Structure 1
Amino acid sequence: MRTLPKAAAFLLVIVLVTGCGDQRILEKQGFIQSTGYDLNETKNNEEDNRLMITVDIPKADPEQRMQRETLTTIAHSSKEAKILFAGQTELSLVSGQLRSTLFGLSLAKRGIWQHIDTLVRDPAISQRVKIVVVNGRAHDLLVRDYPQHPRAGQYIDRMLEKESTSMNIPLVTIYDFTRDYFDDGIEPIAPIIRESKKNISFDGVALFKKDRYITKIDAKQSLIFSMMKHNFKKGEVSMELGDGSKKQERLLFSSIINDRDVKVKRSAKGKFNIQINIVVKGSVLEYSGIHEISKDEDRKKIEKLMAEYVEREAAALMETMQKHNVDSLGIGKNIRNSMSYEEWKKLDWDKVYSNADIRISTRIVIKDFGKFK
């Protein structure tokens, strides 16, 4: 009978010792949450193939004053940087908790695939890691202290998650970028963020040609871009209606349900005619103008003005994408699906796309306009 309490006490000691061992190991781990890549800038602006790589590491010990640690080094690759980082910290760095990877604009213009390829090959890194372009240097954004947001990496990750749920920005992961990089008939995109005076703000949508940054879509047009690219629910957009006269009408269109469809026709001469049909349903909770939104007749006029606004903005975006020859909407995939594989391989889509006849048609439906009648 006495052996049972002794055995229980022995097991309790083992559990306590093991628990203490795990705690010490955890405190020695440096879980990288965000990584920033920039071109290495030399004093004489000489060509340098090395990178400035920055990592943001949250502190596991709540008793420490600093809630994070940032490390920066100059290296040829992220794996080389990891070795160099070992000499800058007492922590053992691991990448299993990586949430976002930031690329400075100068590096994005040169191409980022070789760096994404390294992330794809690492079994410790999730395919859900977010890809972000920084209008400026990723280093400056990561090392800065934001008083209201002690952990910059966590701040960036949560901001991207929140804004993407309302369709204000695209949420692009390693998987998404890699898929569009290798796929025919579509080019990758990524959100752009920038450093403001007191915080970090969304700066638009980066449009790539393969892995090189080409141009961007302004943040105010990002929801219109989403309407052209895919179906979605949620989101809101502010519209200024009219033809530029003094009596402008403004409204906030929210709770959006977007339905986008692409029709492809080919003429006898082989020319492609692409029609993008957009049907948008939503609620108007804020309106200022000359019409009575509660009247059916006036509401139809407002819906027409809203459709004209979307078509006008969408046409401008389409012109920009064709001008820079970036098929960010994936229209080439619709072309590819309308023909045989042999025909598609013979088609020079890059050349055809820039001169293709692409038109946008929009229909707006106001589901409701609030509780007030």
Structure 2
Amino acid sequence: MLKKCTCLLLLLCIIPVSGCGDQRILEDLGFIQTTSYDLLPNGELSFSVSIPQADPETSAKREVLTATAKSSKEARMIMSRQTGMMLVSGQLRNVLFGTSLAESGLHGHLDTLFRDPSISSQVKISVVEGSAGELLIDDYKQHPRTGRYIDMLLEKEALGQTIPKVTLFNFARDFFDQGVDPVAPILKKHDNNYITTDGIALFRDDRYVTKIHSQDALVFAFLKDKFREGQINIDLTEINGKQENVMFSSLISTRKVKITRGVQGVEKVTFHVKVTGSVLEYIGDAKLSNERERRELEQRISQYISKKGDAMIALMKKHQVDNLGIGSHVRNRVGYEQWKKMNWRQELQKIPVECSFDVHIKDYGKFR
């Protein structure tokens, strides 16, 4: 009995001591939250990392380290010599790639991230218009921690469907799948001290080739998959011939892809999209309380979005990319054996692809 009591007392003494030891170690660790990659004109790479500062004795909210090297692991060794903390990647949330590097290809850099067992597959991938390092290094007065600012911005915009939420896992899955090309959100730094999302980067394999502008991003979301929530501003001036503007909110979207086969193979691909939402704001001459005029407005909105969708598909055909995953639907329809015989990028140029939108106004507010 005496031995048991002695062991228990020793255990109780060890617990607080070990706890203090862990606390001391944590204070010595530099948890990398955000990292940036840029390709320099001389062919070398520039890396930057943002580390939240936990030391209560300093007024700085974060520490930023920068290094020039030929690989991310070499840069990590150089940056570790610039700080008194031990750099660790277990809390990495965002990886930013500058435009020049994204255009040259990301596969090797993403492969390095995948090989690191301490890095989560849920790390978010983004492309930065211009230099990713400059965007990360700069301080934004209203947002003391730039890494957290970027992370919250991407999360919030993805919830509203204005950008896709692209993780390391999502990007790699689409890269290795032969029936779809990857995408990534684009970030842009503005001179007056803030960051915005600036559309969607379209990749051919691992190379950034073109973009969808932010005002058309929700149309891409309609064609990509079904979703709930989101809002879109629609300018019907071109279709109506006079000023007419609609803010569509609380959107619910469903999508079906129809593959029409013929003797020669796939003859046509049609996107059937149904969109239901509420009119949050309307500027125009139509009376929404009048059912006939409301139905006419729905037709004009459907025509507008269909036109945008057709233009988006034409852009992808021009650059020989398939970011909507049309190829995966064709592969499922024709079978894998026939799919293997296709050169899909060339086939996509020949196949007619159409968008058919059906828009329904669920309600139009309390005002009648």
Bucket of the pairwise TM-score, normalised by the shorter protein: over 0.9
CA drift of 1:244 comes to 5.4
The question of 1:103 aligning with 2:102 is answered: no
- Structure 2 residue aligned with 1:44: none
- Unmatched runs of 5 consecutive residues or more in structure 2: none
1:198 to 181, 193, 209: 193
Quote how far apart the aligned CAs of 1:11 are: 5.3
Tell me, what secondary structure is at the counterpart of 2:238? Answer: coil
User: CA–CA distance in 2 between the matches of 1:234 and 1:270?
Assistant: 37
The separation in 2 between residues aligned to 1:153 and 1:291, in whole angstroms, is 46
Report if the CA contact (8 A) 1:304-1:364 is conserved: yes
User: How far 1:3 moved relative to its partner?
Assistant: 11
Is the counterpart of residue 334 in structure 1 residue 329 in structure 2? yes
Question: Match for residue 170 of structure 1?
Answer: 164
Partner of residue 20, structure 2: 20
Q: Any residues of structure 2 matched to 1:248-287 within 5 Å, and which?
A: 248-287=243-282
Question: Structure 1 residue 306: deviation in Å?
Answer: 0.6
CA–CA separation in structure 1 for the residues paired with 2:294 and 2:201: 36
**1:350 corresponding residue in structure 2:** 345
User: Separation in 2 of the partners of 1:157 and 1:7?
Assistant: 48
CA deviation map 1:232-265 (0-9, x unaligned): 0110000011435662111100100001111011
**Residue number among 122, 133, 154 corresponding to 2:127 in the alignment:** 133
State the match for 2:83 in structure 1: 89
Q: 2:113 corresponds to which residue?
A: 119
Please give the alpha-carbon distance, in whole angstroms, between the structure 2 residues aligned to 1:299 and 1:244. 16
Matched, 1:317 2:300: no
Deviation (angstroms), 1:10: 5.7
Q: Distance in 2 between matches of 1:71 and 1:163?
A: 28
Shift of 1:145: 0.5
Counterpart for residue 290 of structure 2: 295
The one-letter code matched in structure 2 to 1:366 is I
Shift of 1:357: 0.2
1:113-160 deviations in whole A, cap 9, x for unaligned?
Answer: 100001111111100000000001111011101111111111101110
| In structure 2, distance between residues paired with 1:270 and 1:337 | 13
Distance 1:62 1:251, change over 3 A: farther
Q: Do structure 1's residue 222 and structure 2's residue 225 form an aligned pair?
A: no
* SS class of match (1:338): helix
Residue in structure 1 matched with residue 366 of structure 2 by the alignment: 371
Shift of 1:353: 0.6
Indicate the residue corresponding to 2:31 in structure 1. 31
The one-letter code of the counterpart of 1:327 is D
Q: What is the deviation of 1:198? A: 1.5
Per-residue CA distance 1:196-217 (angstroms, 9 max, x = gap): 1211101110000000000000
Q: Note if contact 2:239-2:304 (Cα within 8 Å) is conserved in structure 1.
A: no
Unaligned runs of 5+ in 1: 42-46
Q: Normalized against structure 1, the TM-score is what?
A: 0.94
Distance 2:351 2:222 in 1: 20
TM-score normalized by structure 2?
0.95
Distance in structure 2 (CA, Å) of the matches to 1:352 and 1:108 = 26
Q: Which moved more, 1:19-28 or 1:151-160?
A: 19-28
Cα deviation 1:312-334 (Å, max 9, x = unaligned)? 11111111111111101000011
Equivalent AA in structure 1 for residue 119 of structure 2: I
State the distance in 2 between where 1:294 and 1:189 align.
41
1:212 lines up with 2:190 in the alignment: no
Asked if the contact 1:253/1:284 (under 8 Å) is kept, the reply is yes
| Match for residue 154 of structure 1 among 123, 139, 148 | 148
> What does residue 69 of structure 1 align with?
63
Instruction: Give the distance between the partners of 1:2 and 1:348, measured in 2 at CA.
Output: 80
Cα distance change on mapping 1:244 and 1:309 into 2, 3 Å? closer
Give the distance between the partners of 2:299 and 2:237, measured in 1 at CA.
Answer: 10
How much has 1:7 moved relative to structure 2?
8.0
- 8 Å Cα contact 1:169/1:205 also seen in 2: yes
* Distance (Å, rounded) in 1 between the aligned partners of 2:148 and 2:77: 24
Secondary structure of 2:334 counterpart: coil
Instruction: Supply the AA of the counterpart residue of 1:367.
Output: K
Aligned length: 367
Name whichever of 58-67 and 266-275 sits farther off: 266-275
Maintained 8 Å contact 2:126/2:184: yes
User: In the TM superposition, what is the alpha-carbon distance from 1:288 to its structure 2 partner?
Assistant: 1.1
State the alpha-carbon separation in 2 of the partners of residues 38 and 207 from structure 1.
18
CA distance, structure 1, for counterparts of residue 4 and residue 114 of structure 2: 52
Deviation at 1:75, TM superposition (A): 1.3
Q: Among the aligned pairs, what percent are the same residue?
A: 46
